[in-house]
Amino acid sequence: MASRGITLHPSGHHPSTLPTKTFDVIIIGAGPVANFAEERLARSGLSVAIVSAELYGGDCHYFACVPSKALLRPLEALTASKSIGGTVTNAQLDISAIFKRRDKIVSEWNDNEVISAQSDAWGTTLVRGFGRINGAKKVTVQPHGEEERYELTAKHAVIVSTGSTHILPPIPGIENLEEGKELWNNRDATASNVVPKQLIILGAGAVSFLFDLIPLEPYAAFANGTCDIRSAPRWQPSIPVSVLKLPWSHPQRPSSRELSQKHQSSYSRA
Ligand SMILES: Cc1cc2nc3c(=O)[nH]c(=O)nc-3n(C[C@H](O)[C@H](O)[C@H](O)COP(=O)(O)OP(=O)(O)OC[C@H]3O[C@@H](n4cnc5c(N)ncnc54)[C@H](O)[C@@H]3O)c2cc1C
């Protein structure tokens, strides 16, 4: 992440600058779930502090829902226009333009615009730092890279909406891979601006399904070859038709099953 220059902990909104440390409600986390509560509480006239360890907007805006769909959309548009016939000849995906468009859609991983459209507009108070519960209706906030913790008090309630993070399962050898380079998590995959020469996807859930579409379709046009290993039967998606309309296979791409068999047998030989 650092190599991409993404700042997860911008300065500003430091807890030491708060005019008051008491709020009706304190929300820990600043993703879509927190934002939903934040807006409704503010509209009902309550004072709200929102404690955010990373970028305001959470994973959805910067590393999950939004960038993944931004990466998929050009392929979908190209496929749709080709299917009409008579509209497009020899059109190709431009991977650097796709990355640029994605960067713009995720606000270049800068949360200023999102803050002014949401937190500022709703009159809530953003506090940057890692939140901890320190007793009944007490929350401490520790700014990134600092030792000191600042205590906030909630008159009514504390909401915990801290989302989730990826885990690394105990796969033998995984500890030898450098995370962010040789080993991608979902953040690395949605924020990447390089096309991997080869990519192995482990897992067969919803996120894996998205990455199956993203890298193996548009990236495949630019990469020397991609591959796909699944440790479980293909996930049966119940997702919007607009996504399902995307083509499943790249012309030169072997089927998942062929790849799976190939790689499983090479693993069993090893
Ligand atoms: C690739 C991908 C694609 C996805 N696409 C979709 C989609 O199209 N549609 C959809 O509905 N969902 C999608 N999801 C799921 C969606 O991203 C999550 O469901 C959603 O982000 C969860 O929101 P949240 O508010 O619970 O948590 P998050 O978005 O994870 O936000 C939680 C925030 O809390 C912060 N935080 C954590 N601990 C603390 C702490 N102690 N103090 C302060 N802050 C803290 C985190 O830094 C984070 O910013 C996708 C997920 C992935 C990985």
Query: Is 31 a pocket residue for ligand 1 (Cβ < 6 Å)?
Result: yes
What percent of the chain has a predicted confidence (pLDDT) above 70? 74
Q: 51 pLDDT band (50/70/90 cuts)?
A: very high
pLDDT at 167 over 80: yes
In the prediction, which pLDDT does 248 show? 37
More confident residue, 242 or 204: 204
Phi, psi dihedrals of residue 258, rounded to the nearest 5°: -60, -45
| pLDDT 10s digits, 54-67 | 999 999 999 999 99
- Is the separation of the CB atoms in 51 and 131 below 8 Å? yes
Tokens for 50, please give them: 């929102």
Q: Ligand 1 in contact with 67 (CB < 6 A)?
A: no
Q: Is 33 in the pocket of ligand 1 (CB under 6 A)?
A: yes
Cα–Cα dist 74/97, whole Å: 10
pLDDT category of residue 83 using cuts at 50, 70 and 90 = confident
> Of 50, 52, 59, which is best to mutate to test ligand 1, by the most ligand atoms within 8 angstroms of its C-beta?
59
pLDDT at position 121 is 94
Q: Phi, psi at residue 230, to the nearest 5°?
A: -120, 135
72 lines ligand 1 (CB under 6 A): no
262 is written with which tokens? 């190939």
Confidence band of 261 (pLDDT split at 50, 70, 90) = very low
Concatenated DSSP letters for 208-228? HHHHHHHHHTTGGGTSS----
Lookup result for tokens 């995984």: 174
64 contacts: CB under 8 Å, gap ≥ 6: 186, 190
CATH 3.50.50.60 segments of the chain: 2-58+108-160
CATH fold, domain 2-58+108-160, is FAD/NAD(P)-binding domain (3.50.50)
- pLDDT-derived band at 170 (thresholds 50, 70, 90) equals confident
Dihedrals phi, psi of 225, to nearest 5 degrees: 170, 145
Tokens of 5: 């220059």
Pocket test for ligand 1, best of 65, 118, 140 (most atoms within 8 A of CB): 65
Distance between CA atoms of residues 245 and 73, nearest Å: 12
Q: Based on the number of CB atoms within 10 Å of its own CB, is 180 exposed (0-12), middle (13-18) or buried (19 or more)?
A: middle
* Ligand 1 and 186: CB distance under 6 A: yes
Read off the pLDDT of each residue in 69-73 and give the average, rounded to a whole number: 88
Whether the per-residue pLDDT at 212 is higher than 80: the answer is: no
> Which pLDDT value is given to residue 7?
92
Cβ 35 under 6 angstroms from ligand 1 = no
Average pLDDT over residues 191-201: 78
More confident residue, 218 or 55: 55
